[in-house]
Copies of this chain bind each other. A is one copy, B any other.
Amino acid sequence: MTPRRASQNELTKNVILDVARELFASEGYASLSMRKIANVLQCSHGAIYYHYKNKAELFYEIIANDFEKLDQELLDVMNDSSLTKEDKLFHLLYRYIKFGLTHQNHYEVMFLIKDDDVKSYLQEGPNKSLQLFGEVVSSALMKPLSTKDVYSLFLSLHGFVTHFCRAETTFEDIKELAESHVIFLIKALK
């Protein structure tokens, strides 16, 4: 049996997470195998399973962070006192798109993947973000939105992000289109 690694370069959750996060951002969920991660970490794939029950759990820990980042981003726009209410509304939607397209592989796991193992970990994340989204948009609009309208608005943004995630387009490439999409949606709100 090969000797166990020295405690200097101990395999911790954090070490795994750092490596996995980076690989994941460039390779995506399906393409990134536990063995590939283990390879970069210079450990056996079995070792990862000591720290994480399975692939879905490992990836959820990465994603959980992203939901917080997304929520924070929405709140940041909301609390930016240099923006008018009108501008806030625009930027809320615009920033959502930007977030999705600059973290495409993350967005995929957050909102797109059908895999049951993955979904079992995604309980509050999406709902919480959706709720915050609704509150924040309502407040920027200065008019309470119906749940249905929040849904429509959110899903319309979601469709935009989804489409360009699939096409692996960068945000820079569709900036103008994103802008016009947001303007399009704001018209529906009035």
Q: How far is the CB of A47 from chain B (nearest CB, A)?
A: 27
> Which secondary structure dominates where chain A touches chain B?
helix
Let me know if A158 and B162 touch, CB within 8 A.
Answer: yes
Contacts of A151 in B (CB 8 A): 177, 181
Q: Output the nearest chain B residue to A158 by Cβ-Cβ distance.
A: B159
Query: A114 an interface residue at 8 Å Cβ cutoff?
Result: yes
Query: A160 an interface residue at 8 Å Cβ cutoff?
Result: yes
Query: A38 an interface residue at 8 Å Cβ cutoff?
Result: no
Q: Output the nearest chain B residue to A162 by Cβ-Cβ distance.
A: B162
Contacts of A163 in B (CB 8 A): 111, 155, 158
Query: Chain A: interface residue count, which band?
Result: 20 to 34
Listed stretches A6-14, A83-91, A182-190; interface member? A182-190
Let me know if A152 and B185 touch, CB within 8 A.
Answer: yes
From 137 to 190 in chain A, residues with beta carbon under 8 angstroms from any chain B beta carbon are: 148-149, 151-153, 155-163, 165-166, 168, 177, 180-181, 184-185, 187-188, 190
A sample of 24 inter-chain contacts (CB < 8 A) reads: A28-B114, A108-B114, A111-B166, A114-B165, A114-B168, A151-B177, A151-B181, A152-B156, A152-B160, A152-B184, A152-B185, A153-B184, A155-B159, A155-B160, A155-B162, A155-B181, A157-B159, A158-B159, A158-B162, A159-B160, A159-B161, A159-B162, A185-B188, A187-B190
Binding site for B on A (CB under 8 A): 28, 30, 108, 111-115, 148-149, 151-153, 155-163, 165-166, 168, 177, 180-181, 184-185, 187-188, 190
